[in-house]
Amino acid sequence: MKKTKFTEAKIVAIIKENEAGISAPELARKYGMSQGTFYNWKAKYGGIGVSDLKRLKEIENENRRLKQMYADLSLGHEVLKDIIEKKL
């Protein structure tokens, strides 16, 4: 995935500027991005505050860790199951 030059906090700030009355084409010129990018951001981050965004990232990281733990345990279970079946 391509790394963006905008942080998520900056993206939220740009969306807030639009809500304050600055048009999307004007914001696109000001920050050097396409209007399509702005509308994608607005769909993804619209209505989210910076604190909500931080909490969302924490939850995503926790979810990723839990999925990894489940995958590891599931794999270990399958290996043990195969060993037991071979011995019988």
Q: 38 and 62: one domain?
A: no
Q: Which residue has the higher pLDDT, 71 or 8?
A: 71
> For the chain, what is the domain count?
2
In which domain, by residue range, is 72 found? 54-88
* H-type alpha helices, 1-88: 8-19, 24-31, 35-45, 50-87
pLDDT digits (tens, 9 = 90+) for 8-63: 889 999 999 999 999 999 999 999 999 999 999 999 888 888 888 889 889 999 99
Q: 44 and 58: one domain?
A: no
Q: 42 and 1: one domain?
A: yes
Q: 3 and 43: one domain?
A: yes
Q: 43 and 74: one domain?
A: no
- State the amino acid at position 20 in one-letter form: A
User: Per the structure block, which two tokens stand in for 19?
Assistant: 């809500």
